[in-house]
A and B are shown apart, each in its own frame.
Chain A
Amino acid sequence: MATTYDVRLGPEGAALEAKNVSVFYGDKQAIDTVSLAVPKKQVVALIGPSGCGKSTLLRCFNRMNDLVKGARVEGDVEFRGQNLYDPNIDPVEVRRRIGMVFQKPNPFPKSIYDNVAFGPRINRFEGNLDDLVETSLRQAALWDEVNDRLGESAYALSGGQQQRLCIARTLAVKPELVLMDEPASALDPIATQRIEELIYELKEEYTIVIVTHNMQQAARISDYTAFLYMGKLIEYGPTDTIFTNPREERTEAYVTGRFG
């Protein structure tokens, strides 16, 4: 089964490249020899029906599958010229450089400030922590809403604010790539739009890969879209092509709501 692949890398190259990646959970194959390059400072969306493997593929990109019992990854995921699955690679360091934002906001039971400062402290950050917290909160478009109550518990924030706090926490350790797994699915429409606007602004500095079951969201925010079906990459191309004139019949059927 061939893949339609129409993503050409610009002069900045790829932030990450998957080469013939397969993932197994026990006997079950969840991802079947997927290859794709994520262009730097772009937003790539992974779409497809439930169970197509999009979250599994995302979790390969920072070795989160290591934490799943019985999961086995084959193939290479290249990042900064190295295979993330090379035995010499420290998965904790991988997860610092490649941040992740989850479906449900998961702030720590600490103050707003300490949530953002947590990662830098663990990494023995030696600069001005206050500045770093402010910059991170600004990048996450949350600063103006919380700057007068940084000492309050993160739990006092709304769901949308908590999610932006989690994004600020991710950005505070200066990742090179940010993975987002359904970052807005637990939020109301306005909070969702804020997250989407934020993603659009973040790509000035970051590369983002986002998994979403909300096709319209992928259409709105991504530069490139990868459509997965039954663990295989069916089509990967510019988002406007995927949603206005896809090359593969199965992509067309999915984006027009004829299956999935």
Chain B
Amino acid sequence: MSPDGAPRRHFHDELDMLQEKLLEMASLVEHALAEATAALLDGDPSKGETIRLGDERVDELEIEIDERVIELLALQQPMAKDLRQIIATNKVSNDLERMADHAVNIARAVTRLHDVPPIPKMREFEDMIEITRGMVSDALAAYVSRNAGTARMVCMTDDRVDDLKRTIFRILVTLMLEDEKRIAAALELLLISQNLERIADLATNISEDVVFLVEGRSIKHGTRLGEFEDYNS
């Protein structure tokens, strides 16, 4: 009993539980991404199975979150910040689920890479992985700490990942033109870079949702990124 408790304590407990599910999902996705990219950099395809198993749990969590979101919307009539949090949770959970799928795609490509003639290591992949993982980690940290400033930084970093993807594309095309034995490996690497670029996009989506959550307005499609200087925090 909590006579002095807030009038809707039970509902807010439910919101906290929803949040915990999302955080479990986030940590699984970050782990899968770390494993998949480490597998690429180390040329070690042995982690594929663990990543796929992690993905199954992520899929389960997505469904659980979808169901809870519908129930909370229908049964609890959330308002203001609570409403935005539930909507944002739903979107972030969809984004995380997609990220986990991309991590699985990367792991699969790494496995296939193992069976084809190798091509020289490219420093651009290391950069792309570092930036992408940093974006994911910052986006999730921004979500947890409700920090719109960090979220906006993530959105602006996305351009660097897009640039790297274009660079990698050019390098891989050149390598393929020079030696057709490299085509198999180059195509896998092309797929990997596309998956990384999509993960960075999804981290950007999450960051946009964080701004929506904190400020109650949309910065999607670059609409209000220009107002960044007002939000240094």
A193-B8, A220-B11, A244-B70 are contacts. A239–B75 as well, Cβ < 8 Å? yes
Least CB distance, A136 to chain B, in whole angstroms: 11
B:48-77 near A, CB below 8 Å: 70-71, 74-77
Interface size of A by CB at 8 A reads: 21
List the B residue with the shortest CB-CB distance to A244.
B74
CB pair A197–B3 under 8 Å, yes or no, is no
CB pair B76–A201 under 8 Å, yes or no, is no
Contact check: which of B4, B7, B11, B71 meets A244 at CB < 8 Å?
B71
A194 interface residue, CB < 8 Å from B? yes
A138-B1, A141-B3, A201-B1 are contacts. A240–B74 as well, Cβ < 8 Å? yes
Report A-chain residues with C-beta under 8 Å of the C-beta of B3.
138, 141-145
CB pair B1–A139 under 8 Å, yes or no, is yes
Cα separation A239 to B71 with both chains bound (whole Å):
10
Cα separation A143 to B5 with both chains bound (whole Å):
13
Cα separation A141 to B7 with both chains bound (whole Å):
11
Report B-chain residues with C-beta under 8 Å of the C-beta of A145.
3
A:79-109 near B, CB below 8 Å: none
List the A residue with the shortest CB-CB distance to B10.
A200
Least CB distance, A178 to chain B, in whole angstroms: 16
A-B contact count (CB 8 A): 45
B233 interface residue, CB < 8 Å from A? no
Task: Give the bracket for the number of chain B residues in contact with chain A.
Answer: 10 to 19
A190 interface residue, CB < 8 Å from B? yes
A24 interface residue, CB < 8 Å from B? no
B2 interface residue, CB < 8 Å from A? yes
B9 interface residue, CB < 8 Å from A? yes
Cα separation A139 to B1 with both chains bound (whole Å):
7
Q: Mark contacts of A165-198 with chain B using CB atoms, 8 A cut-off: 1 yes-contact digit, 0 otherwise.
A: 0000000000000000000000000100110110
Q: Mark contacts of A124-144 with chain B using CB atoms, 8 A cut-off: 1 yes-contact digit, 0 otherwise.
A: 000000000000001101111
A216 interface residue, CB < 8 Å from B? yes
Cα separation A143 to B1 with both chains bound (whole Å):
10
Task: Please give 11 more A-B residue pairs, beta carbons under 8 A apart, in addition to A197-B8, A239-B75.
Answer: A139-B1, A197-B10, A200-B10, A201-B10, A216-B77, A219-B74, A219-B76, A220-B77, A240-B75, A244-B71, A244-B74
29 A-B residue pairings within 8 Å (CB atoms): A139-B1, A141-B1, A141-B5, A143-B3, A144-B3, A190-B7, A193-B7, A193-B8, A196-B7, A196-B8, A197-B5, A197-B7, A197-B8, A197-B9, A200-B10, A201-B1, A201-B10, A216-B77, A219-B75, A219-B77, A220-B75, A220-B76, A239-B75, A240-B71, A240-B74, A240-B75, A243-B75, A244-B71, A244-B75
Residues of A within 8 A of B (CB): 138-139, 141-145, 190, 193-194, 196-197, 200-201, 216, 219-220, 239-240, 243-244
